[in-house]
């Protein structure tokens, strides 16, 4: 016979096993759901799922090491959205030029935002434009001592990935903005797909930005580490210009994540909806 007592005053349970006149007491530490996160498996193969279209990573098409906002001068930054009361940086950023197929007209300009101090930080990733299957890891100290670890690269053809984590429980935000290649023909759609991990139900929230002919498409998938951030509320806030904005010369698209703790995985895909590959790359685990 066994009797299990829940010890509500401590993190654990006590199971008492009766053996005749004696007994054995074994203390068990249960899995605490709040300490289990949605993480990446780190796959670098297609594994039979749809992946992205071929990406050009040349100097003219791929990511540029640093740049100013060539097509987005500070005077137009107000067309974008951002999480703080001050504007994000406008110089010394990284962005993709094109990817081939006119997916971008200089888009990315990614940043981190510290909710507590209303401050921005630009993580300059290196190396860039690496071969498919190569993921690099960098560590950054920002916002007065917070340590961020960023894994980045193309795990498979046509997909770029950021895996961003931080060493504390304070909130942060990841954001991107810039000019899309679908000049005067932008369509933007929020999408979602349900999935399960270890019997737990979640929603994958993602975005499709395309031209009217859907030949130029970017899919963006945002998955916070925190389980409850992947339930019933979108994981990001977006702004897009729509067709014909700024006389067709600038088709803006920007988004930033909701306030996050611990980390986030972000995937960008060229042309194809790769939600099944993304979902397959996810797992539950501890930090």
- pLDDT recorded at residue 23: 37
Report pLDDT digits (tens) over 65-118: 666 555 555 556 777 889 999 888 888 889 999 999 889 888 999 999 999 999
Pick from 25-39, 155-169, 196-210, 263-277: least confident: 25-39
Distances (CA, A) of 78 to 70, 110, 236: 15, 16, 19
- Comparing 281 with 31, the larger pLDDT belongs to 281
- pLDDT recorded at residue 158: 98
User: Mean pLDDT across the chain, nearest whole number?
Assistant: 85
- For residue 260, what is the DSSP state? B
Positive or negative: CA dihedral 151, 38, 209, 47: positive
Give dist(CA 125, CA 138) in Å, integer.
Answer: 7
Measure the CA angle with vertex 61, ends 57 and 66; round to 5°.
90
Can you tell me whether residue 18 is helix, strand or coil?
A: strand
Residue 10, pLDDT > 60, answer no
Report pLDDT digits (tens) over 196-228: 999 999 999 999 998 877 788 999 999 999 999
- pLDDT recorded at residue 22: 43
Region 116-126: what's the mean pLDDT?
Answer: 95
Give dist(CA 134, CA 145) in Å, integer.
Answer: 29
- pLDDT recorded at residue 1: 41
- pLDDT recorded at residue 90: 81
- Comparing 177 with 251, the larger pLDDT belongs to 177
**Backbone angle region of 90, left / alpha / beta, with phi > 0 → left and psi within -120 to 50 → alpha:** alpha
Residue 34, pLDDT > 70, answer no
Residue 235, pLDDT > 50, answer yes
- pLDDT recorded at residue 16: 38
pLDDT-based confidence at residue 154 (cuts at 50, 70, 90):
very high
- pLDDT recorded at residue 242: 58
- Comparing 164 with 1, the larger pLDDT belongs to 164
Predicted TM-score (pTM) of the model is 0.85
- Burial of 170 from C-beta contacts in 10 A (0-12 / 13-18 / 19+): middle
Give the whole-number percent of the chain exceeding pLDDT 70. Answer: 81
Report pLDDT digits (tens) over 163-177: 999 999 999 999 999
């Amino acid at each position: 016979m066994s009797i299990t007592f829940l010890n509500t005053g401590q993190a654990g349970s006590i199971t008492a096993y009766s053996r005749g006149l004696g007994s054995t007491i074994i203390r068990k530490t249960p899995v605490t759901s709040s300490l289990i996160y949605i993480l990446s498996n780190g796959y670098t193969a297609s594994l039979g799922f749809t992946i992205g279209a071929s990406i050009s990573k040349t100097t003219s098409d791929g990511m540029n090491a640093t740049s100013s906002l060539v097509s987005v001068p500070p005077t137009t930054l107000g067309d974008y959205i951002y999480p703080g009361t001050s504007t994000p940086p406008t110089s010394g950023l990284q962005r993709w030029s094109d990817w081939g197929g006119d997916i971008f007209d200089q888009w990315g300009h990614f940043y981190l935002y510290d909710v507590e101090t209303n401050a921005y930080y630009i993580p300059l990733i290196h190396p860039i434009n690496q071969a498919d299957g190569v993921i690099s890891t960098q560590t950054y100290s920002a916002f007065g001592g917070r340590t961020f670890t960023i894994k980045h690269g193309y795990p498979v053809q046509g997909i770029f990935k950021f895996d961003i984590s931080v060493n504390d429980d304070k909130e942060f935000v990841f954001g991107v903005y810039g000019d899309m290649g679908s000049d005067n023909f932008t369509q933007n759609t929020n999408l979602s797909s349900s999935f399960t991990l270890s019997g737990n139900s979640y929603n994958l929230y993602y975005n499709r930005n395309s031209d009217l002919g859907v030949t130029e498409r970017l899919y963006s998938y945002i998955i916070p580490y925190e389980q409850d951030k992947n339930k019933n509320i979108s994981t990001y806030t977006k702004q897009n210009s729509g067709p014909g904005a700024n006389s067709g010369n600038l088709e803006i698209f920007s988004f930033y994540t909701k306030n996050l703790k611990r980390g986030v995985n972000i995937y960008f895909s060229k042309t194809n909806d790769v939600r099944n590959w993304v979902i397959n790359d996810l797992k539950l685990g501890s930090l």
